[in-house]
Chain A
Amino acid sequence: MYKLLLAGLTTFLLAGCSDQSWRTTDIGDIMPALDFSLTDEEGERVQGEDYRGKATLVYFGYTFCPDVCPITLARLGDTIRNLDDETRDNIQVLFISVDPSRDTPEVLKRYTDAFGPEFVGLTGEQAEIDAVTNRYRIAYDYGEENENGDYLVSHSSAVFAFDREGQAQFLVRDSHPVSDAEADIKRLASQDG
Chain B
Amino acid sequence: MANKLSGVLICRACQGIALSALTLLLTTGVAQAQSLEVTNARLSLLPGNTPGAGYFDLQNSGDETVTLVGAESPAFEHVEMHVSSEHNGMAHMHAIESIEIGPGERIEFAPKGHHLMFLRRAAPLSEGDKADVELKFSDEQRLPVTFDVVSPASL
Give how many B residues have a beta carbon under 8 Å from the other chain's beta carbons. 30
By the criterion CB–CB under 8 Å, are A156 and B112 in contact? Answer: no
Q: Is the interface of B mostly helix, strand, loop or mixed?
A: strand
- With contacts A66-B51, A66-B52, A148-B119 taken as known, whether A71 is within 8 angstroms of B93 at the C-beta atoms is no
Partner of B91 from A107, A115, A156 at Cβ < 8 Å: A156
A56 proximal to B (CB < 8 A): no
User: For the complex, what is the distance from the CA of A70 to the CA of B50, rounded to whole Å?
Assistant: 11
Interface-located stretch among B56-64, B96-104, B147-155: B147-155
User: For the complex, what is the distance from the CA of A27 to the CA of B30, rounded to whole Å?
Assistant: 57
Give how many A residues have a beta carbon under 8 Å from the other chain's beta carbons. 34
By the criterion CB–CB under 8 Å, are B47 and A68 in contact? Answer: no
A135 proximal to B (CB < 8 A): no
By the criterion CB–CB under 8 Å, are B152 and A107 in contact? Answer: no
User: For the complex, what is the distance from the CA of A66 to the CA of B151, rounded to whole Å?
Assistant: 11
User: For the complex, what is the distance from the CA of A44 to the CA of B53, rounded to whole Å?
Assistant: 31
- What are some 11 contacts across the A-B interface (CB < 8 A)? A61-B91, A68-B112, A71-B44, A71-B112, A110-B47, A111-B48, A139-B90, A141-B90, A150-B119, A154-B90, A156-B90
Interface residues of B (CB under 8 A from A): 44, 46-48, 50-53, 77-78, 82, 84, 86, 89-95, 111-112, 115, 117-119, 151-153, 155
